[in-house]
Amino acid sequence: MKRILIPGGAGYIGSHVVLSVLLTRRYKVTVIDNYHNSFPTAIERVEKIARDELPADATQEQKDACKIDVIKGDLRDRDTFSKAFSQYKGQKDEIYAVILVAALKAVGESGEIPIDYYDVNICGLVNLLRAMKEAQVWRLIYSSSATVYGTPKTIPIPETSPLQAESVYGRTKQMSEIMIKDVCDAHTDFRAISLRYFNPAGAHPSGLIGEDPVGKPGNLLPLLSQMAVGKYRDPGLRVNGNDYPTPDGTCVRDYIHVMDLAGGHVNALDAIDSDARFQNLPSRGKYRAFNLGRGQGMSVLNMIEAMRKVTGWAYPYEIIGRRPGDVPDLTADPTLAEKELGFKAKHGLDEMARDLWNWQSKNPKGYNP
């Protein structure tokens, strides 16, 4: 059984990705995490879900694969990656591919602490790529972001749109994509797929795993869910701008259920060895990028109303000025991912809000009350 290395696997998106990989019953998983914005409890709960969902005819190997190996480490420590690859080298379950989910990821915060964002997101990737080359591990699934498009001219956004990020966070993702493509061009064995996330939302329907950011959430939906359980109600909800060229004046985003997003990584794993997925590219190196979204934009006010319906909380809000780095509309064109990866988002807005509230109401204080 092949092994997948997932840096950042204890985080919100990472834990759902780990679960989706385990549920294929085709891979073992090793997680690297420094628990900067995540909790070990998430890994324990992923293991529980994976065990609970074992088929009746599961093999012993599949049962054993529900146990996740965990390495506590930091992207900025090159030795962390070197030790992880050497630990399994030569074994039948040596590391086959890497899914890099770990990153600092808040648009607003990135403009306040840019050095940290470049250090973690760029220098951390350099360390990983160097270690992968040394270990001769040639497959990478990279978590990128729709923020690489900046303010796109075409909505919904195709992958052919120019990359012109307007926030520090977006620039770290854009630079990372360029770096990965350069590595693919230089090393003919290296294959990589960048998945440009739109806005993940929701939680696993069990309510066992979900988003639990450290401190006040920097993203809209976890803030709304935590407000509904009584946290962060002072000074209240503030909406950044209502004068954008959108239907109600607030920013529009393409929200995708986190389980759909996580499933896209399995689609990418399945595709990364298929030459058909990399056709019409130069022979030196194999690199592709795909949007992961629903293709349907929702405004800030739409999301507030969706959460109001499931939580019963009124969400009084105040309109304030625009936030630097925000763009009016980021709605995906997911056609390419559907055509070439077989990816399709199955869950709608109501399910995202329902599953998010199921998680938050069952875990009002998160993983470590």
DSSP 152: -
Residue type, 203: A
- Cα separation of 362 and 126, whole Å? 39
d(CA 103, CA 93): 26
Residues 142 and 193 sit within 8 Å (Cβ to Cβ) = yes
Active site residue 169: yes
Distance, C-alpha 311 to centroid of its chain: 25
- Listed residue (216, 287, 224) closest to 255, CA to CA: 224
CA distance 196 to 157: 11
β-bridge pairing 297-299 and 252-257: antiparallel
How far apart (Å, rounded) are the C-alpha atoms in residues 29 and 93?
Answer: 10
List the catalytic residue out of 117, 169, 197, 367: 169
* Spatial CA neighbour of 30 closest among 12, 11, 6: 6
What are the residues whose beta carbons fall under 8 Å from the beta carbon of 68, sequence distance 6 or more?
A: 9, 18, 22, 29, 30, 31, 43, 46, 47
Which residue from 68, 71, 72 is spatially nearest to 93, judged by alpha carbons? 68
Q: How many CA atoms lie within 13 A of 187 on its CB side?
A: 19
* Contact present, 6 and 21 (Cβ < 8 Å): yes
Query: What pairs with residue 100 in β-bridges?
Result: 142
Which residues are tagged catalytic?
169
